[in-house]
Amino acid sequence: MPDEKKSASRHAITIDRRNSVSVTGVLDVISFDEETIIAETEMGVLIIRGVNLHVNRLHLDSGELSVDGEIVSINYEDNSSGFGKGKMSFISRLFK
């Protein structure tokens, strides 16, 4: 049983033709709109940017996120850049 939980908690990103993204190892979705999705993953904060982004599936129990739309970029936010100190500092950085 512990092995099942360990395998379900792996973090991976699959991009299909820049039109869809599947992410595993998602702990929480911090915010989302049609241009940006910010998710906390086991490997850090993941930022997906694009056009007409739509969250198709979000299962936090299994850590799965599926997004459709035109994918422009996928980045990890470094914890030392302020996110670890609180969500407001990270969000305020987005609107500088």
- Domain ranges, residue 46: 2-94
Reply yes or no on whether the pLDDT at 48 is more than 60. yes
Residue range 16-34: mean pLDDT, rounded: 96
Q: Indicate which CATH number applies to the domain containing 58.
A: 2.60.40.2000
Strands 64-77 and 44-59: antiparallel
Residue 75: pLDDT band by 50, 70, 90 thresholds?
very high
Structural domain count, the chain: 1
Q: Kindly give the residue spans of alpha helices, DSSP state H, lying in 1-96.
A: 2-8, 87-94
Residue 78: pLDDT band by 50, 70, 90 thresholds?
confident
Predicted local confidence at residue 3, as pLDDT: 46
Q: What is the DSSP track for the chain?
A: -HHHHHHHT--EEEEETTTEEEEESEEEEEEE-SSEEEEEETTEEEEEEEEEEEEEEEETTTTEEEEEEEEEEEEEEPGGGTGGG-HHHHHHHHT-
Between 91 and 51, whose confidence is greater?
51
